[in-house]
């Protein structure tokens, strides 16, 4: 996990959105097949 001292909100958003986008891209690519 990448930890930056930009504030709890920013770090939480990065930690959540990072994996979320990865799963979304994988899910979309699977659905399009």
What is the token pair recorded at 9?
């909100």
pLDDT per position as a tens digit, 1-33:
555 555 666 666 666 767 777 788 888 888 777
Cα separations in angstroms, 5 against 9, 11, 16, 31: 10, 8, 16, 37
Q: What is the 3-state secondary structure (H, E, C) of 1-33?
A: CCCCCCCHHHHHHHHHHHHHHHHHHHHHHHHHC
Q: What is the pTM of this model?
A: 0.36
Average pLDDT, the chain: 70
């Amino acid at each position: 996990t990448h930890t930056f001292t930009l504030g709890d909100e920013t770090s939480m958003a990065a930690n959540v959105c990072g994996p979320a986008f990865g799963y979304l891209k994988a899910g979309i690519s699977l659905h399009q097949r």
